[in-house]
Amino acid sequence: MLSLSVENLSVSFPGLDAPVLVIDDLKIAAGEHVAVTGGSGSGKSTFINMVTGLDRTASGNIFWNGQDIARLSEGARDRWRAEHVGLVMQDFHLFQGLSAVDNVLLPARLSRVADRAMTDRAHELLSSVGLSRPNQKIDTMSRGEMQRVAIARALLRRPGVVVADEPTASLDGASGEAVGKLLLEMAASAGSTLIVVSHDQTLIDRLDRRLTLAAGRIKTDTKAGERAQ
Partner 1 sequence: MIRFILADIKRMWAGAIVVVLLVALATALGVTVTLQERALRLGSARAADKFDLVVGAPGSETQLVLSSVFLQAAPLPLVSGDVLAKLAADPRVAWAAPIGFGDSFAGYPLVGTTRALISNTTTGFTEGRMFEKEGEAILGAAVNLPLGAEIKPMHGTAASGGETHAGVVYHVAGRLKPTGTPWDRAILVPLQAVWHVHGLGHAHEEGEHEEAGHDHADGDHDHDGEAQHAGEAAHAAEVAPATGETAANSATHAEEHHDDHDHHGTIDADAPIMEDYGTDAPGLPAILVKPKTIADAYRLRQAYRTGGTLAVFPGEVLTSLYSTLGDAKFVLSAVAAGSQALVAAALVLVTVTHVAQRRRQIGALRAFGAPRLSVFTIAWAELFLMVALGICLGFLIGLAAARLIADAFTGQSGIVLPVEFTGQDVRSFLGLLIVAAILAAVPALLAYRQSPAKALRS
Q: Which residues from 136-165 bind partner 1, rule CB under 8 A?
A: 153, 157
E strands present in the chain:
4-11, 21-28, 33-38, 59-64, 67-68, 85-89, 161-165, 193-197, 209-214, 217-223
Q: Which residues from 34-63 bind partner 1, rule CB under 8 A?
A: 45, 49, 52, 54-55
Tell whether residue 81 is a contact of partner 1 (CB under 8 A): yes
Longest dimension (CA), the chain: 52
**Closer residue to partner 1 in complex, CB, 169/224:** 169
Tell whether residue 90 is a contact of partner 1 (CB under 8 A): no
- Residue among 38, 43, 60, 107 that touches partner 1 (CB under 8 A): 107
- Residues in contact with 113: Cβ distance below 8 Å, sequence separation at least 6, in sequence order: 157
- Dihedral Cα 11, 80, 190, 119, nearest 10 deg: 140
- Residue among 7, 102, 177, 208 that touches partner 1 (CB under 8 A): 102
Which residues of this protein are in contact with partner 1, per CB under 8 A? 45, 49, 52, 54-55, 74-75, 78-79, 81-83, 85, 87, 89, 91, 93, 95-98, 102, 106-107, 109-111, 153, 157
